[in-house]
Amino acid sequence: MRKTEQDGTPLGVAVIGAGYWGPNLVRNFQSSPAWRLRWLCDLDVARAEKVLGGYSTVQATADYAAVLADPDVAAVAVATPAGTHLDVALAALRAGKHVLVEKPLAATYADGLRLVEEAEQRGLVLMCDHTYCYTPAVARIRELVHGGELGEIHYVDSVRINLGLVQKDVDVLWDLAPHDLSILDFILPEHVQPVAVAAHGADPIGAGQACIGYLTLQLNTGAIAHVHVNWLSPTKVRTTMVGGAKRTLVWDDLNPAQRIAVFDRGVDLAAPAEIGAEERRDMLVSYRTGDMVAPALQEKEALRAMVDEFAASIRERRPSRTDGRAGLRVLDILEAASRSLEFRGAVVGLRTGH
């Protein structure tokens, strides 16, 4: 363990990739007292320099080897295309650096597993930047689910649709669904997990890959989770509904005045033991109508919470809340969904126990 990891001084970090996501990481590492941003590495040095702007203490470079050779760099944040994640992250781990990787963890489950095993063998933190898991809304949903306020989970339904951006290298499932799948993995209790998936997709504009996708996940408890992603919707929708035996939660990420609403409304079914033999065929159904509560949320930028968790996991020598294993579980579902698409919606089993 480096001295800086023990004495509380800021940890040196390098951001790899100055494209779409890199500038967001640069801004949040710069603003966090837990970190000292030392490098921004990109094949296009001019682009990196433009991103850095007034951050004169940060060096821009195209030389990744020089970044990894810097003994003051304790960690590397990878914000490059998914197809490069294995090579970039593996080199960092082998150089003894802790690694943060933007979603998805890797291009394939096999690549992701190599990263997870390398990090575990070296005692290094491997964290996946599942940003939504660090929003105040998702943190509160996890608290409510794990605390039992919703009761046993019956279903989860997510919608993430908008107009564009149609990707050239991945379909809509690989582009948008990782957000919802990482949230699902984060909020479900440990004993509840997906065991199989069926996927359906369509490409009505001839883009070459699915632009509309539907995922149906079977959970080991008999519950169901559904994810709808779409690049072609004229309106933007970001909603998730978590239905429990006691209460149902609705999260509307585009409604800042009331992101979360918890409804004490639902359907109650009398158990067979509670009713007479003659009535057992006609189970007693009752409808419960109670209050709606909108919990107050303290707004905080998710990326800032994420980089703070990265630092805490390094200092405390523990897995992060969205560690490499969490990234691997998301990859498992995405690969199974791709296989399901190939076989026109066939149900595909997931790996378990990782």
Positions in the chain whose pLDDT score sits under 70: 1-7, 55, 270-283, 286, 353-354
Closest CA to 306 of 133, 64, 172, 143: 133
0.75 exceeded by pTM = yes
Q: What is the pLDDT of residue 96?
A: 98
From residue 181, alpha-carbon distances to 16, 159, 297, 323 in Å are: 25, 12, 23, 14
**CATH match for 133-302+333-349 among 3.90.470.10, 3.40.630.30, 3.90.550.10, 3.30.360.10:** 3.30.360.10
Q: What is the pLDDT of residue 291?
A: 83
Count Cβ neighbours within 10 Å for each residue of 308-335 and write b for 16 or more, e otherwise.
bbbbebbbeeebbbbbbbbbbbbbbbbb
Q: Yes or no: say if 229 and 211 are a contact pair by the CB < 8 Å rule.
A: no
Q: What is the pLDDT of residue 353?
A: 47
Residue 324 CA to residue 320 CA, distance in Å, equals: 8
Q: Yes or no: say if 229 and 167 are a contact pair by the CB < 8 Å rule.
A: no
**Stretch(es) of the chain classified as CATH 3.40.50.720:** 3-129
- Neighbouring residues of 103: CB distance < 8 A, sequence distance ≥ 6: 128, 129, 130, 131, 178, 179, 182, 327, 330
Q: What is the pLDDT of residue 354?
A: 45
Residue 104 CA to residue 126 CA, distance in Å, equals: 13
Q: What is the pLDDT of residue 167?
A: 85
Does domain 3-129 fall into CATH 3.40.50.720? yes
**Stretch(es) of the chain classified as CATH 3.30.360.10:** 133-302+333-349
